[in-house]
């Protein structure tokens, strides 16, 4: 089959490829510690699963409205208003199968061929993939290690041009765990408002924070007509396989995004949406416990990595990734990631899986048990010393 030209510009998410390679090694009887995939190793809270089962038994097995069930849109609007300090209404919410479609839909809806999109690099690989796919021009904003990967706002502002159609932010950030402090958000918001540029703020890790409080650019003055917040249930409630996410955006734009959903997936599964209502309404103790556990693991992995010759590691402020600098080992990111998997049985991702500026780094997801993290650290140390 002859593929369309645009398919040659579609990227991918390496985590899934590394997972397949790691599973193949395991099938040959090799032991692998999985620090590659970005998903909590906790179970979905029991009351959420029970709500889904009750919904299935009650017959919530049919199509629903494209933008999402009214009760979930209302619950998300309330949650967003409370946590972000924005005045969100149900009409501003579009529920999608995971947060990822919001990226795709928003880029499709706003960016024409030749338009520029600013995005973090290293960063979630799907941003660049989608921008290129639709013919946009990706304009990377390099995250600097010396600034604790806090997105270099001056650099971002210097790259805004008359062709900039969209700014993508991600805080807390995958793969570095960095956050954008409030003064940085303010400077970006001022520029966005001045030039009328929409901002897609990916806040999927907004509740997985250790030493800081979550701030959303959507709450800053003048941002309401320009802010699109991406969030979801995958990380916060350990619901990656449920495929449940959402965007909060100006109501007229939400209608356009819902139209893209009508044209693609029709709607998000109905019983999973009812489980989402239960997740937002129910006890949040499981989220707090998970974040406390991630914090313990973060400290162990950061200290462990720092103790290995040739490795330096910034302490991440959020999400569940460590992004150590491995320049001192003499390896490229890809070469070390490959050796770690093939020879030491530690699955991780090369920093370059997150863009060119990820060179010299690896990403370790510490969404794994302390025992496994210790085991991985021992294996990395053995390989490098």
Ligand X SMILES: Cc1ncc(COP(=O)(O)O)c(C=O)c1O
C-beta of 217: minimal distance to ligand X in Å? 15
Please identify, using beta-carbon distances, which residue of 270 and 272 lies nearer to ligand X: 272
| 297 sits near ligand X (criterion: CB under 6 A) | no
Please identify, using beta-carbon distances, which residue of 261 and 329 lies nearer to ligand X: 261
| 236 sits near ligand X (criterion: CB under 6 A) | no
CB contact at 8 A, 337 and 349:
yes
| 124 sits near ligand X (criterion: CB under 6 A) | yes
| 170 sits near ligand X (criterion: CB under 6 A) | yes
| 120 sits near ligand X (criterion: CB under 6 A) | no
Residues whose CB is less than 8 angstroms from the CB of residue 227 and which lie 6 or more positions away in sequence, other chains included: 86, 198, 199, 201, 216, 217, 218, 248, 249, 250
Residues whose CB is less than 8 angstroms from the CB of residue 174 and which lie 6 or more positions away in sequence, other chains included: 38, 123, 124, 204, 205, 319, 321, 354
| 245 sits near ligand X (criterion: CB under 6 A) | yes
Out of 121, 171, 176, 240, the only residue in the binding site for ligand X (CB under 6 A) is 240
| 363 sits near ligand X (criterion: CB under 6 A) | no
Please identify, using beta-carbon distances, which residue of 38 and 351 lies nearer to ligand X: 38
Structure tokens at 299: 């400290």
CB contact at 8 A, 189 and 217:
yes
Please identify, using beta-carbon distances, which residue of 270 and 329 lies nearer to ligand X: 270
Structure tokens at 200: 């897609």
Q: Which residue is nearest to ligand X (CB)?
A: 98
CB contact at 8 A, 208 and 179:
no
C-beta of 38: minimal distance to ligand X in Å? 4
Please identify, using beta-carbon distances, which residue of 331 and 366 lies nearer to ligand X: 366
What phi and psi values does residue 177 have, to the nearest 5 degrees? 75, 5
Please identify, using beta-carbon distances, which residue of 136 and 245 lies nearer to ligand X: 245
Query: Under DSSP, is residue 263 helix (H, G, I), strand (E, B) or coil?
Result: helix
Q: Are strands 346-347 and 33-34 parallel, antiparallel or unpaired?
A: parallel
Q: Which stretch binds ligand X (CB under 6 A): 44-52, 98-106, 273-281, 361-369?
A: 98-106
C-beta of 349: minimal distance to ligand X in Å? 11
| 234 sits near ligand X (criterion: CB under 6 A) | yes
Query: Under DSSP, is residue 45 helix (H, G, I), strand (E, B) or coil?
Result: coil
In DSSP notation, 167-214 reads EEEESS-TTT-----HHHHHHHHHHHHHHT--EEEE-TTTT-BSSS--
For ligand X, what does the binding mask look like between residues 174 and 213, x meaning CB under 6 A? x---------------------------x-x---------
Out of 73, 84, 100, 363, the only residue in the binding site for ligand X (CB under 6 A) is 100
| 172 sits near ligand X (criterion: CB under 6 A) | no
Question: What are 33's strand-pairing partners?
Answer: 346
Structure tokens at 346: 């530690």
Q: Which stretch binds ligand X (CB under 6 A): 96-104, 268-276, 298-306, 366-374?
A: 96-104
C-beta of 204: minimal distance to ligand X in Å? 4
Which residue, 352, 345, 315, is CA-closest to 331?
352
DSSP conformation class of 124: -
DSSP conformation class of 310: T
Where does this chain bind ligand X (CB under 6 A)?
Answer: 38, 98-100, 124, 170, 174, 202, 204, 232, 234, 240, 245
């Amino acid at each position: 089959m002859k593929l369309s030209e645009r398919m040659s510009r579609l990227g991918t998410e390496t985590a899934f490829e590394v997972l397949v390679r790691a599973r193949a090694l395991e099938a040959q009887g090799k032991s692998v510690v999985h620090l590659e995939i970005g998903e909590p190793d906790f179970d979905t809270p029991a009351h959420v699963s029970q709500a889904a089962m009750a919904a299935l038994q009650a017959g919530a097995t049919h199509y629903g409205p494209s933008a999402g069930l009214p009760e979930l849109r209302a619950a998300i609007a309330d949650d967003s208003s409370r946590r972000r300090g924005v005045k969100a209404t149900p009409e501003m919410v579009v529920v999608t199968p995971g947060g990822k479609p919001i990226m795709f839909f928003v880029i499709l809806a706003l960016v024409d061929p030749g338009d520029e999109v600013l995005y973090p690099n290293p960063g979630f690989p799907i941003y660049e993939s989608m921008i290129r796919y639709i013919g946009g021009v990706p304009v990377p904003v390099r995250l600097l290690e010396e600034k604790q990967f806090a997105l270099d706002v001056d650099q971002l502002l210097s790259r805004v041009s008359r062709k900039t159609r969209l700014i993508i932010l991600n805080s807390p950030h995958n793969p570095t765990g960095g956050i954008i402090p409030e003064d940085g958000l303010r400077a970006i918001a001022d520029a966005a408002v001045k030039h009328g540029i929409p901002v897609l703020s990916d806040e999927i890790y907004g509740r997985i924070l250790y030493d800081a409080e979550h701030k959303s650019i959507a709450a800053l003055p003048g941002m309401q007509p320009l802010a699109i917040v991406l969030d979801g249930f995958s990380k916060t409630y350990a619901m990656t396989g449920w495929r449940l996410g959402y965007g909060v955006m100006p109501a007229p734009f939400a209608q356009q995004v819902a139209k893209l959903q009508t044209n693609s997936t029709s709607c998000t599964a109905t019983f999973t949406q009812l489980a989402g209502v239960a997740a937002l309404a129910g006890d949040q103790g499981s989220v707090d416990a998970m974040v406390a556990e991630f914090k313990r693991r973060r400290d162990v992995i950061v200290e462990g990595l720092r103790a290995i010759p040739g490795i330096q590691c910034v302490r991440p402020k959020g999400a569940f990734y460590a992004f150590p600098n491995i320049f001192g080992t003499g390896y490229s990111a890809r070469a070390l990631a490959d050796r770690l998997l093939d020879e030491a049985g530690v699955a991780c991702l090369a920093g370059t899986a997150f863009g060119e500026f990820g060179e010299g780094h690896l990403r370790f997801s510490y969404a794994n048990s302390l025992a496994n993290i210790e085991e991985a650290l021992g294996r990395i140390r053995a390989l490098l010393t």
